[in-house]
Structure 1
Amino acid sequence: MDERVPRISSMQKGRITKYQPCPQIHLPDRQWPSRTITTAPTWCSVDLRDGNQALAIPMGIDEKLAMFQLLVQLGFKEIEVGFPSASQIEFDFIRRLIEENHIPEDVTIQVLVQAREELIRRTFESLHGAHRAIVHLYNSTSPLQRRVVFGLDKPEIIAIATRGTQLVKELLPTLPGTEVTFEYSPESFSLTEIEFSLEICEAVVDVWQPTPEHKIILNLPATVEISTPNVHADQIEWFCRHLRNRETAIISLHTHNDRGTGVAATELGLLAGADRVEGTLFGNGERTGNVDIVTLALNMYTQGVDPFLDFSEIDAVRAVYEKCTRLEVPIRQPYAGELVFTAFSGSHQDAINKGMAAQDPEPGALWQIPYLPIDPKDLGRSYEAIIRINSQSGKGGVAYVLESEYGYQLPKAMRIEFGKIINRLADETGEEILNRQILETFEHEYLKPRGPFQILSFRTVQEVDLLNHETVECVARVSHEGQIHELRARGNGPIDAFTRALNQTKLVQFTVRSYSEHALSQGAEARAAAYIEIQNDKGESYFGAATETNIELTSIKALVSAVNRSVRATRKETDSTYDKISV
């Protein structure tokens, strides 16, 4: 047995008594399953507080300022900037934002505070001079917190919340010129009896006395995610349906990701009636993190809903985030990860390649590309990284790289041939094959003269007989293993004539099966690419390729390339491609 694997399991088997399922909500006529998200919620970033407290090395003031400016650029209108009563750096950062006029007129800062008198007063001191602010008050409400942490019963927990609310209300005159919105969170809402959550929130509402014009924010945090997303949705819908004077409240979600379903729980919570979402960029937060607002917003975008957040330069967003937080966005993170728009699988590559060719190029046209639910260009990503090559890749991916990066449009059958060459290279190296290596392999295999035949000179003369039939005579000098041969033959075109001339030497016997060409560039000195497939006297097919400014010479060089590849294969001169290219 592997010594790293424990010999005795500590997990319970059979009937699990250590854990119990989350209580279900009785809601037989639930409405959220039949709803659709059609508008974006109000977004509130909590990167600067909830996200920051989860960092091994918290952000300094300069880093927090850079993050704040990024959030503003992305379009956040509500940003939680700190817990000013928790530390001096938190307090100082908020003062710097206000005093140095970093807060745009249309952005509301949010500050977090526990329902304790001295902390509330310190919080108000931090807000002097702000145009608008959300004061976010919270206290823990779950049975476990009531019993283990506070040793208080329900009325005493309610009293903490209402006293804190009353003090916030009394302190409003100390902030002249500041538009204050009040937010209350029954912390651990997800673990609190639903009836008690409603009771304490309504007690707070009774003290605050909101109106439809000046609403209260009731934030219902899944501080610890303990249920499947559908149960969370039931909790939110039940709360919204039973709350008195619902029109005076903004229902806000603050979902954590302990079960790995924070995004799903938030989406279902919005279907259930919530209006607002608190979360972080890329899901940074305690334990497994807060809900990822980037994923949420772009999920909506792919469904045709404007999220009112701009992630059109997602790599730049990721760079600022990683610099400020010292965290790395995983390579498979939805939308932002390095590899999320990359296909290694051969069948995926082939489908993407064909989808790209068929996609309507008109701006705003319906996006329909297999395996790509969003256009990478919408996020500032380029197509060059969509298809990358390893041993799992196929002909479609290799062809896509050659065409999209270097302009080579390989015939379908040639894609199969060259795809096998690249697969062999990937097997030899055991590594991903870079685009540059694909090009070098293509040049080494097809474009660089290797083999017994070398074309030294070539010219053609067109002739017309008495019946007005056009023929072409080719005159060529060819080197075969160092010996010079003067060749001359007639055909219906340059390729046919040169094929007849080579076959007359008896040095090689073949027929031409296919030919294609295309321009590689524009202008007077435009280069062309030609591809020729031949079949040798053993019935085996081989491709050749060449590039030149003279299309006639290009086709002849492509023919020589194919002949040389056929001869080398017959002689089993199958050297390692890996040894011929830079790695």
Structure 2
Amino acid sequence: MDKKLVKVLDTTLRDGSQASSVSFTLNDKIRIALYLDKIGVDFIEGGWPGSNPKDYEFFKKIKEYSLEHARVAAFGSTRRKGVSVKDDVSLNSILETGVDTAVLFGKSWTLHVNDVLKVTKEENLNMIAESIDYLKDHGLYVIFDAEHFYQGFLEDREYAMQVVKTAEEAKADVIALADTNGGTTPDKVYDITSFVVRNVKTEIGLHMHNDIGCGVANTIMGVLAGARHVQGTINGIGERTGNADLIQIIPTLVLKLGFRALKGPESLKELKPLSRLVYELAGLPPNPFQPYVGDNAFAHKAGVHADAVMKNPRAYEHVDPELVGNSRKIVISEVAGTSNISSYLEHVGIKVDKKDPRLKSVLQKIKELENKGYSFDIAPASAVLIALKELGLYEKVFELKYWKVINENGLAVALVKVNNYLEASEGVGPVNAIDLAIRKALNNIFPEISKVKLTDYRVVLPGEIKNTESVVRVTIEFSDGERTWRTVGVSNSVIEASVEALVSGFDYFIQTSKKLKPLLA
């Protein structure tokens, strides 16, 4: 047995889909499964075929694809009380899927045996043994999930271990210890898992929930205690507060503790795109603060941090972000330093020494504006425009001399004058109308503006500034098909703030385009 190899079972398609507000379509489940196989997940728990038609259909559909690495597993429970295994719907639905792997859960906490199943302890053991035997007799690889094991062990150690021993004697291939309530602390997980590993020869696995925020820590501690099979979901989605997050567990095991998982270190580079895919299909916004893969996981905002990390990344980065498919981000804000500014400018092709005294005036301008409600850490393109002007590198190409929007009776019309071009447009709402009108005028000056698309538009209320006025902050994201950037506008009028952000977004594109790059050299 390879003591450094940890096998991974992903239950995003089953336990993850039990998260409130999450519902994957059949096509969603196929896309996720194919990506999981691509990175080298060992087992994909596709769903509970006995619980709903969609899960049953998934097992039929996935057969149309040739998986390179993963084994698809069907989930189910031990037989019902008073029903023979041959007549049990849940067990037979697993067999009907045609999979070669089953994940079978059974009770290991006397509270559930007595109060939920309402059977004797002996009958529960028989239900476990007969169910595993039945699936094994049909040639399946069986992973037995000992539900509520840690709670059961703490209240009745002897019986919890009887459950595990029963599964072992029935020749389960893996016995996964589940912290189903998610309330066990890492020290207890380590001690209990160590005890089981010492007393059981079957491979031990882990299935942790996150109710006290310890799902990842408990999984890591369980592996250190000797378990070599881990279960979890992508991004930690799942019942209540979720499951253990495989996005955090896998790189910690591989990069920090020297274990092997998936197809090797190269697979870790797929973690961020996989994380984004699952967020997208689940209809959830990506967590920017998520360890390893979040947009802010390697973002440096404070000037001291940015300066140090530019000298030596290890100063404030625990791993190379590229190892997990992420990248470093230097943030521009009121707490930034000259290193932040020079680093970001270099990112767009403008080299300025961080000791250049002009950068001090750039920082001062940024701090003054953030005090008025601007936020440049979420809209760095606007900060670049400030820097270009303060550094004398700004080439004024256009000027919005006049604008007006009429929004009445469902009709939105905008009139603008850019340089000497007067244009009007009708749009779906006032912001769309002014956007179209500005574009029409700019097209006379800079035709490449047609490449630019608006990809995101947000309005926030940062509150009152100096207790004198309430303002709104608008941020707009743009893309030219190759890169994206964000700009910000602030005003007590949503339309005025939107116009400022729009004009800045188009200006940024022009200032940093190839056409004007020689001016910035």
- Establish whether TM, by shorter chain, passes 0.5: yes
Counterpart-to-counterpart distance in 2, 1:138 and 1:314? 28
Counterpart-to-counterpart distance in 2, 1:115 and 1:256? 21
Asked if residue 373 in structure 1 is aligned to residue 318 in structure 2, the reply is yes
**Among residues 413, 416, 427, which one is paired with 2:371 in the alignment?**
427
Please list, as runs of the form range in 1=range in 2, the aligned pairs for 1:129-168 lying within 5 A after superposition: 130=99, 133-168=100-135
What SS is found at the alignment partner of 1:311? helix
Q: After TM superposition, give the deviation of residue 78 of structure 1 in Å.
A: 1.2
Asked if residue 122 in structure 1 is aligned to residue 44 in structure 2, the reply is no
Counterpart-to-counterpart distance in 1, 2:148 and 2:341? 52
Q: After TM superposition, give the deviation of residue 124 of structure 1 in Å.
A: 4.1
Q: After TM superposition, give the deviation of residue 251 of structure 1 in Å.
A: 0.5
Counterpart-to-counterpart distance in 2, 1:446 and 1:97? 58
The amino acid that maps onto 2:11 is V
Q: After TM superposition, give the deviation of residue 160 of structure 1 in Å.
A: 1.7
Counterpart-to-counterpart distance in 2, 1:437 and 1:87? 50
> Which structure 2 segments of 5+ residues have no match?
80-84, 396-499, 506-521
What SS is found at the alignment partner of 1:289? coil
**Among residues 62, 87, 95, which one is paired with 2:27 in the alignment?**
62
Counterpart-to-counterpart distance in 1, 2:22 and 2:249? 27
Residue of structure 2 in register with 1:387 after alignment? 330
Counterpart-to-counterpart distance in 2, 1:407 and 1:448? 9
What SS is found at the alignment partner of 1:338? coil
What SS is found at the alignment partner of 2:136? helix
Asked if residue 288 in structure 1 is aligned to residue 241 in structure 2, the reply is yes
Q: After TM superposition, give the deviation of residue 167 of structure 1 in Å.
A: 2.5
The amino acid that maps onto 2:320 is D
What SS is found at the alignment partner of 1:269? helix
Asked if residue 108 in structure 1 is aligned to residue 53 in structure 2, the reply is no
Alignment check: 8 A CA contact 1:75 1:308 kept:
yes
Q: After TM superposition, give the deviation of residue 314 of structure 1 in Å.
A: 4.1
Residue of structure 1 in register with 2:262 after alignment? 308
Residue of structure 2 in register with 1:230 after alignment? 187
Counterpart-to-counterpart distance in 1, 2:66 and 2:24? 19
Alignment check: 8 A CA contact 2:106 2:145 kept:
yes
Counterpart-to-counterpart distance in 2, 1:251 and 1:352? 41
Q: Which moved more, 1:305-314 or 1:55-64?
A: 305-314
Per-residue CA distance 1:229-258 (angstroms, 9 max, x = gap): 010111100111122xx1xx1101001111
Residue of structure 2 in register with 1:327 after alignment? 284
Residue of structure 2 in register with 1:80 after alignment? 45
Residue of structure 1 in register with 2:205 after alignment? 252
Structure with the greater alpha carbon radius of gyration: 1
Asked if residue 195 in structure 1 is aligned to residue 161 in structure 2, the reply is no
Please list, as runs of the form range in 1=range in 2, the aligned pairs for 1:359-370 lying within 5 A after superposition: 368-370=313-315
Counterpart-to-counterpart distance in 2, 1:448 and 1:278? 54
Across the aligned residues of Structure 1 and Structure 2, the Cα RMSD in angstroms comes to: 2.6
Q: After TM superposition, give the deviation of residue 449 of structure 1 in Å.
A: 9.4
Asked if residue 407 in structure 1 is aligned to residue 350 in structure 2, the reply is yes
Please list, as runs of the form range in 1=range in 2, the aligned pairs for 1:2-81 lying within 5 A after superposition: 39-81=4-46
The amino acid that maps onto 1:428 is K
Closer, same or farther: CA 264–124 of 1 in aligned 2, 3 Å: closer
Closer, same or farther: CA 38–369 of 1 in aligned 2, 3 Å: farther
Counterpart-to-counterpart distance in 1, 2:106 and 2:91? 16
Counterpart-to-counterpart distance in 1, 2:104 and 2:270? 35
Counterpart-to-counterpart distance in 1, 2:199 and 2:91? 33
Q: After TM superposition, give the deviation of residue 377 of structure 1 in Å.
A: 2.6
Counterpart-to-counterpart distance in 1, 2:94 and 2:361? 72
Residue of structure 1 in register with 2:176 after alignment? 219
What SS is found at the alignment partner of 2:504? coil
Residue of structure 2 in register with 1:23 after alignment? none
Alignment check: 8 A CA contact 2:276 2:286 kept:
no
Q: Which moved more, 1:331-340 or 1:48-57?
A: 48-57
Task: Give the count of matched residue pairs.
Answer: 383
What SS is found at the alignment partner of 1:111? strand
Alignment check: 8 A CA contact 1:115 1:161 kept:
yes
Per-residue CA distance 1:450-488 (angstroms, 9 max, x = gap): 9xxxxxxxxxxxxxxxxxxxxxxxxxxxxxxxxxxxxxx
Counterpart-to-counterpart distance in 1, 2:375 and 2:302? 14
Q: Where does structure 1 differ by over 4 angstroms across 4 or more consecutive aligned residues?
A: none
Q: After TM superposition, give the deviation of residue 57 of structure 1 in Å.
A: 4.3
Identity %: 22
Alignment check: 8 A CA contact 2:78 2:105 kept:
yes
Counterpart-to-counterpart distance in 2, 1:52 and 1:204? 27
What SS is found at the alignment partner of 1:185? strand
Counterpart-to-counterpart distance in 1, 2:56 and 2:354? 66
* Structure-2-length-normalised TM-score: 0.68
Counterpart-to-counterpart distance in 2, 1:378 and 1:169? 40
Q: After TM superposition, give the deviation of residue 217 of structure 1 in Å.
A: 0.7
Q: After TM superposition, give the deviation of residue 369 of structure 1 in Å.
A: 2.5
Q: After TM superposition, give the deviation of residue 296 of structure 1 in Å.
A: 0.8
**Among residues 178, 181, 192, which one is paired with 2:141 in the alignment?**
181
Counterpart-to-counterpart distance in 1, 2:159 and 2:288? 42
* Structure-1-length-normalised TM-score: 0.61
